[in-house]
């Protein structure tokens, strides 16, 4: 995360907003599966940055999500994006409530078990991963026992204070474990998050974690929306 903040400072000082184009950021977990966040920067810089109210400035992010969903439509009926809510149709909440699409990077043969919080295995209950599961996910797992669940929040306490509200589509933000392993014809499942009521003019580090047995996998990115300047 030190690298992320340093990158943001360098780009801010450059004064060139238009260095940031569409991309799909890939990060890989120690547990064998990675997550992607679209859109999230350029040249492997996990950054979403645009000027508030400037549609020309955030159009590159709209285009990036267009490209992602268009690739899925080739194999999947467009109606199936209805579970993405406002994040399934252009302009995907940009600019005051931007969406980010999270997906599992396809890995053939990868199968998974959902996290079981009802286990009587003392070693599992006392594991670091088990203890770190957010309380709200523990509640969801009582009813979503066959799903891998996503949770996103500010990376540090500072970010948590400024990230505002994160909404999920679908909600609850789960992926059915039974669809794995995927084959060559399958699309990776998508979960959308929409960020609203965040603080303008502040770089906010956001981390999304997908929880499952042996997980979690995670992806991080920065959101920076500069305030609209008023000419007096």
- Tens digits of residue pLDDT in 164-190: 999 999 999 989 999 999 888 888 889
Query: What's the whole-number mean pLDDT along residues 67-88?
Result: 77
pLDDT in the model for residue 19: 34
pLDDT in the model for residue 126: 47
**pLDDT greater at residue 200 or residue 144:** 200
- For 109, the token pair is 């043969």
Q: How many helices (H) and strands (E) does the chain have?
A: 6, 10
Q: Are 36 and 68 in contact (CB under 8 A)?
A: no
Domains and their CATH numbers in the chain: 2-225 (2.60.40.1660)
Q: What is the mean pLDDT of the chain?
A: 79
pLDDT in the model for residue 220: 93
Q: Residue 2: how many CA atoms within 13 Å on its side-chain side?
A: 0
Question: Does position 207 have pLDDT exceeding 70, yes or no?
Answer: yes
pLDDT in the model for residue 74: 55
Report the C-alpha gap between 84 and 138 in whole angstroms. 23
Report the C-alpha gap between 34 and 79 in whole angstroms. 26
Query: What's the whole-number mean pLDDT along residues 11-31?
Result: 40
pLDDT in the model for residue 77: 52
Burial (CB < 10 A; 0-12, 13-18, 19+), residue 228, is exposed
pLDDT in tens, 101-131: 999 888 888 888 888 766 534 445 445 566 7
Query: What's the whole-number mean pLDDT along residues 215-231?
Result: 85
**Of the spans 37-46, 134-143, 171-180, which averages the highest pLDDT?**
171-180
Helix (H) or strand (E) holding 208: strand 204-211
Report the C-alpha gap between 68 and 62 in whole angstroms. 10
Q: Are 225 and 37 in contact (CB under 8 A)?
A: no
pLDDT in the model for residue 24: 35
∠ Cα 11 47 65 (to 5°): 135
pLDDT in the model for residue 18: 36
Question: Does position 9 have pLDDT exceeding 70, yes or no?
Answer: no
pLDDT in the model for residue 187: 86
Question: Does position 16 have pLDDT exceeding 80, yes or no?
Answer: no
pLDDT in the model for residue 134: 86
């Amino acid at each position: 995360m030190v690298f992320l903040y340093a990158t943001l400072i360098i780009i801010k000082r450059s004064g060139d907003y238009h260095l940031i184009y569409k991309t799909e950021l890939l990060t890989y977990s120690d547990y064998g599966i990675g997550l992607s966040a679209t859109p999230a920067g350029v040249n492997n810089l996990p950054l979403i940055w645009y000027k508030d109210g400037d549609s020309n400035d955030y159009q590159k992010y709209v285009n990036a999500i267009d490209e992602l969903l268009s690739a899925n439509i080739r194999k999947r009926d467009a109606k199936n994006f209805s579970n993405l809510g406002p994040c399934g149709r252009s302009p995907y909440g940009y600019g005051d409530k931007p969406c980010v699409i999270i997906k599992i990077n396809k890995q053939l043969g990868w199968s998974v078990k959902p996290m079981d919080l009802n286990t009587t295995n003392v070693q599992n209950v006392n594991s670091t991963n088990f203890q770190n599961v957010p309380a709200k996910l523990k509640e969801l797992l009582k009813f979503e026992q066959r799903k891998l669940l996503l949770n996103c929040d500010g990376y540090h306490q500072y970010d948590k204070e400024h990230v505002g509200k994160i909404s999920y589509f679908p909600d609850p933000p789960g992926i059915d474990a039974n669809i794995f392993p995927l084959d060559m014809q399958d699309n990776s499942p998508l979960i959308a998050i929409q960020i609203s009521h965040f603080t303008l003019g502040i770089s906010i580090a956001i981390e999304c974690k997908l929880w499952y047995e042996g997980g979690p996998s995670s992806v991080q990115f920065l959101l920076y929306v500069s305030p609209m300047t008023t000419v007096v």
